[in-house]
């Protein structure tokens, strides 16, 4: 019995550690098809209505350049960059595909919203060189 409890606690600690590193994505979705990579940087989807959120750890004092590439055939996709208080900093979508974020903290969130969307996206971010 104690071994079982210990195993469950270790699994929960492992999942929490993965969440803190941005490897676990929380989501609720309804989709005919939804295929994404491990980190949520790219996905292909069909008739998708969803909300996903992932933790993003960035290096403080660095400017990061975010770029969103989309091929949306129907519906809408928005990716919001949130601060550590979960306040919206910027929204990336089909009309606003680039943003430079000066990381004043180390903890940010990416908040994905799909509204009856069909298509694919790729989200990239990298340190900006001056």
pLDDT digit string, tens, across residues 68-117: 999 999 999 999 999 999 999 999 999 999 999 999 988 999 999 999 99
Distance CA 21, CA 124 (A): 17
24: pLDDT confidence band, cut at 50, 70 and 90? low
Q: How many domains does the chain have?
A: 1
**Residues 6 or more apart in contact with residue 12 via CB below 8 angstroms:** none
pLDDT in tens, 36-76: 887 778 889 999 998 988 888 899 999 999 999 999 999 99
Residue 95: the pLDDT is 94
- Higher-pLDDT residue of 30, 124: 124
Q: Are 31 and 103 in contact (CB under 8 A)?
A: no
Return the bridge partners of 9, or none: none
Domain-located, residue 3: no
Q: What is the CATH number of the domain that holds 98?
A: 2.60.120.380
* Assessment of whether the complete model's pTM goes beyond 0.85: no
Domain that holds residue 74: 26-127
């Amino acid at each position: 019995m104690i071994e079982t409890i210990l195993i469950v606690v270790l699994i929960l600690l492992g999942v929490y550690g993965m969440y803190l590193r941005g490897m676990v994505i929380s989501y609720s979705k309804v989709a005919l098809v939804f295929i994404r990579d491990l980190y949520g940087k790219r996905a292909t989807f069909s008739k998708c209505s969803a909300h996903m959120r992932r933790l993003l750890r960035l290096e403080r004092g660095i400017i990061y350049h975010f770029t969103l590439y989309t091929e949306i055939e129907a519906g809408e996709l928005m990716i919001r960059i949130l601060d550590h208080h979960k306040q919206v900093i910027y929204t990336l979508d089909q009309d606003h595909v680039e943003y430079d974020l000066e990381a004043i903290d180390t903890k940010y969130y990416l908040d994905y919203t799909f509204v009856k969307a069909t298509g694919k996206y790729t989200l990239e971010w990298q340190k900006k060189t001056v």
